[in-house]
Copies of this chain bind each other. A is one copy, B any other.
Amino acid sequence: MSEVFSGIDVSSVRKITCIGAGPIGAGWAAFFLSRGYAVTSYVHAMSEEASLRALIDDAWISLEQLGLADGASIDQLSCTDDLALATADAQFIQESAPENLELKRTLYQKLSELVPANVVISSSTSGLKMTDIQSTCSTPARTVVGHPFNPPYLLPLVEVVGGEKSSPVAVEWVAAFYKHVGKAPLVLKREIPGFVATRLQEAVWREALHMIANEEATVADIDTAIVNGPGPRWAMMGPCLAYHIGGGEGGMEYCLEQFGPALKLPWSRMEAPELTPELARKLIDGSLEVAGDRDYGTLNRQRDEGLVAIRKALDGVFDVPD
């Protein structure tokens, strides 16, 4: 049973505390600064300040290219190793401490005492469950997971999910807040290990490891295959929309008829689920929803324009293997 949570208006947030001086903590700090917020970074020791600021300076180059919010400035950053000072007046806390359950539990206990209960504390954890982190915290209702992708100042995804004691209102609040600041929050239906994006990424990684271990492919082969093959498509569309377009005018429905049987083939070390009529229906309806009002011709054209734009954009910027 969760406590009651009532958050402040997302648009009234001005001050944010970012806990952690690593690439994720620094990345979040840079991002919030670029959106015009005042940010206090909590560091474990002041000796970390220089590297934190160096990471933020690096991120700032990209953030400037994408456009800063009015009034955004690195001067809005302060840094302290005093947790009470770091969290004073904070209206939102993004926690990116090391991935250690005991460390995070202790931290959340302390934060409970320091921070008013209407301030959301969102954890960047990629591997821990909020149910476990919040178990010994006295104000668990406002604690949630807000898992970013690296680098957090450039990739929009934030996977959002509460633990057993999180208030659904706090989950809604943080999703609305991330959206407000220009992120792409994805609210998970429930806590699953690795969330959604990391599971997909991990599937690629494990298949790659199997191929490398079996000497079916080298590291360079794996990377070449992604970058010159499905990778550029994934920059703009997920596998569902990609197959929906791959099905031509017939869309996902035709695609499943043609390639459904391939699920039985040993095309990956992963066992496939049964392609039941219910699963097929979810795929077809879901793909139509993602496609929106874009018909096949439009999607096909957009995909090609996107691929041309990506190829031109990367030319001379990133050394792509060939």
Contacts and interface: CB of A to CB of B under 8 A. Distances in A.
Given A217-B196, A306-B318, A228 B157 contact: yes
Contacts of A211: 192, 196, 199
A209 B264 CA distance: 13
Contact of A157 (B189, B198, B229): B229
B228 A193 contact: no
Given A219-B290, A286-B219, A229 B58 contact: no
Interface in A190-217: 190, 192-194, 196-213, 215-217
Dominant secondary structure at the A interface: helix
A309 interface: yes
- Which of under 10, 10 to 19, 20 to 34, or 35 or more describes the interface residues of A? 35 or more
B302 A313 contact: no
Interface in A217-272: 217-241, 243, 246, 248, 262-263, 265-272
A312 B287 CA distance: 25
17 contacts: A66-B312, A156-B228, A194-B268, A196-B217, A200-B230, A205-B239, A206-B273, A213-B279, A218-B282, A219-B285, A219-B289, A226-B238, A227-B238, A232-B235, A269-B270, A302-B317, A306-B317
Given A206-B270, A268-B270, 9 more contacts: A58-B304, A127-B267, A156-B322, A184-B224, A199-B211, A205-B239, A209-B275, A227-B237, A269-B270
